Amino acid sequence: MALKTYFIETWGCQMNVLDSQHLEGLLRARGLEPAGDAVEADVTLLNTCAVREKAVQKVASRLGELRQARQAGGKPGVIGLCGCVAEQDGARLLARSNALSFVLGPGKMSQLGGALDAVEAGQRPSVTGFGATRDYDAHLIARPAGGRQFVTAIHGCSQHCTFCVVPYTRGHEVSRPLAEIVAEVREVATAGGREVTLLGQTINAYRCPATGADFGDLLRAAAQAPGLWRLQYVTSHPKFFTDGMIAKMAGIERVGSYLHVPFQSGADTILRRMHRGYSGAEYVALAARLRSAMPRVSLSTDVIVGFPGETEDDFERTLALVEEVRFSQLFGFVYSPRPKTPAARYEGRISRALAHSRIERLFAAQSAIQLELNQGLIGRDVEVLVDGPARRGTTQWQGRGDDNRVVNFSGWDGIAAGALAEITITGATPHALLGERRAPVARRPAPSA
Ligand code: SAM
């Protein structure tokens, strides 16, 4: 079996996006070339997400589609299941579906070559689990063109929030050494990465295993990378901010003004049952501390609606927190029970209809806030990192400011993805700003180390 081409489908979070780049690098190092689609590729990888319900059903139905389409074209090919569903349910899916050739968990990505060798020898391997350390070969990551890049700072998660499957699918938390992370950020910036996002499930819990340096120290060192425009980071956990850390963060010019801090619920009873480690009032006080230290900061958040036992009063506390803090972005999720998690066994399930009506109310409240906040920016000049054309067939471009707001702008022929554009904001919707070109921005000089 000569394997010459590949295609990777990526579902889920930024970590999965980066993992897919890693998998792609491993395939290229083996001599494979990209294929046009999943059906014609010799090797198709499904890099999956297990955070919410129906993950396994989604994989099963995609496998069915691929099997049919490939058989019709006379091409069985190799299909590998990667990512969090692979870790959570891969062995079962391998036994159930003969469309699947192998399974590779997020802790075993570097063994992709061995798995393909085994497939070529007629086996169907399942490679999952986690070691004390994690493999991460920065040089093998196939980074796409464009100015926005990711770098892992922490693997896994040890928080065990009662709703969350991540500690089971990505293993316990392991921080990478600060020197390795900084070296990677420098390489990425030298190669044209203007904005680097450091990734970790609880990024502000970072501790360098070699020196004990904390997250503020990591930001300070990484932000020095020559050529870097902005350093971003996700996801921060409310309980790990300290005054010292906030002071360090506030003093770094190149740290973006976007801060993603999930609060999950405004009700203390629910927060306790989620094992989040803070109260609603403590979250509101934290938001005020962050804003007083970093007046330009745009706070964004995650919220779960319909957690077991959530009463109307609990939900109204969530709405009240949203009204009080006024986030620039909010990602809302209907609670879904996940395997192995304590909350999956909690009593007081909320009906889907009620949970959906609550999330609609949440989105309506947030949308009004976002529109007001965005309208308040009309007339401002902002710097935007360009991602590409806004839509096919238009002359509009799209990018994001350093506060992560989407900006659609026109009047700039010949601009390219990865460029910085100086834009005047002329209009606003709840989910995007509209703008016009100002003058081109000169490349910033590198800071002295
Ligand atoms: N580690 C981060 C934290 O603890 O805040 C976020 C990680 S999670 C991959 C992203 C978001 O998905 C969470 O913040 C939460 O709002 C949502 N989420 C996680 N598990 C969920 C579940 N079982 N049901 C619904 N939403 C969930």
For the stretch 403-427, pLDDT in tens is 999 999 988 888 888 999 999 999 9
CA distance 97 to 84: 18
> Model confidence at 1, in pLDDT bands (50, 70, 90)?
low
**Strands (E) located in 39-104:** 43-48, 78-83, 102-104
Answer yes or no: is the C-beta of 164 below 6 A from any ligand 1 atom.
yes
Residue type at 39 in one-letter notation: V
Question: For a pLDDT cut of 70, what percent of the chain falls above it?
Answer: 97
Q: Which residues pair with 79 in a beta bridge?
A: 44
Mean pLDDT, the chain, integer:
93
For residue 287, what pLDDT is reported?
A: 98
Distance 95 CA to ligand 1 centre (A): 29
For residue 70, what pLDDT is reported?
A: 82
pLDDT tens-place string over residues 14-36: 999 999 999 999 999 999 999 99
> Model confidence at 98, in pLDDT bands (50, 70, 90)?
confident
Q: What is the mean pLDDT of residues 112-125?
A: 96
Helix (H) or strand (E) holding 177: none
Q: Where are the alpha helices (DSSP H) in 275-311?
A: 280-293
Distance 227 CA to ligand 1 centre (A): 33
Res. 360: pLDDT tops 50: yes
CA distance 289 to 8: 42
* Residue 266 DSSP class: S
Answer yes or no: is the C-beta of 397 below 6 A from any ligand 1 atom.
no
CA distance 108 to 165: 18
For residue 391, what pLDDT is reported?
A: 81
- Identify whether the C-beta of residue 316 lies closer than 8 Å to the C-beta of residue 322: no
- Tell me the three state secondary structure of residue 175: strand
For residue 445, what pLDDT is reported?
A: 52
For residue 53, what pLDDT is reported?
A: 78
What number does the ligand 1 atom closest to the CA of 164 have? Answer: 20
CB atoms within 10 A of CB 57: 9
Answer yes or no: is the C-beta of 237 below 6 A from any ligand 1 atom.
yes
Distance 51 CA to ligand 1 centre (A): 7
Answer yes or no: is the C-beta of 298 below 6 A from any ligand 1 atom.
no
| Residue with CA nearest ligand 1 atom 11 | 302
Residue 103 corresponds to which tokens in the numbers above?
């399974």
Res. 448: pLDDT tops 50: no
CA distance 80 to 3: 13
- Identify whether the C-beta of residue 182 lies closer than 8 Å to the C-beta of residue 189: no
pLDDT tens-place string over residues 137-152: 899 999 998 899 999 9
What number does the ligand 1 atom closest to the CA of 157 have? Answer: 1
Res. 89: pLDDT tops 50: yes
Distance 165 CA to ligand 1 centre (A): 9
Phi/psi of residue 353, each to 5°? -60, -45
Which residue is listed with tokens 């198709």? Answer: 44
| Residue with CA nearest ligand 1 atom 13 | 302
CB atoms within 10 A of CB 121: 9
- Identify whether the C-beta of residue 200 lies closer than 8 Å to the C-beta of residue 154: yes
* Residue 207 DSSP class: B
Indicate the top mutation candidate among 15, 164, 299, 321 to test ligand 1's pocket, ranked by most ligand atoms within 8 A of CB. 164
Answer yes or no: is the C-beta of 52 below 6 A from any ligand 1 atom.
yes
Length of the chain: 449
Distance 195 CA to ligand 1 centre (A): 24
Residues 6+ apart with CB under 8 A from 96: 60
> Residue 83 burial by CB count (10 A; 0-12/13-18/19+): exposed, middle or buried?
buried
| Residue with CA nearest ligand 1 atom 5 | 262
What number does the ligand 1 atom closest to the CA of 331 have? Answer: 16
> Model confidence at 449, in pLDDT bands (50, 70, 90)?
very low
pLDDT tens-place string over residues 191-223: 999 999 999 999 999 999 999 999 999 999 999
For residue 69, what pLDDT is reported?
A: 87
Please give the C-alpha separations between residue 135 and each of 24, 139, 143, 152, 353, in angstroms, as whole numbers: 15, 12, 18, 11, 43
> Model confidence at 441, in pLDDT bands (50, 70, 90)?
low
For residue 146, what pLDDT is reported?
A: 82
pLDDT tens-place string over residues 152-194: 999 999 999 999 999 999 999 999 999 999 999 999 999 999 9
Distance 200 CA to ligand 1 centre (A): 13
Q: CA torsion 31→37→39→40, rounded to 10°?
A: -50
- 173 half-sphere exposure, CB direction, 13 A CA radius: 18
Q: What is the mean pLDDT of residues 229-246?
A: 96
Indicate the top mutation candidate among 304, 340, 350 to test ligand 1's pocket, ranked by most ligand atoms within 8 A of CB. 304
Answer yes or no: is the C-beta of 161 below 6 A from any ligand 1 atom.
yes
pTM: 0.94
CA distance 171 to 155: 8
What number does the ligand 1 atom closest to the CA of 262 have? Answer: 5
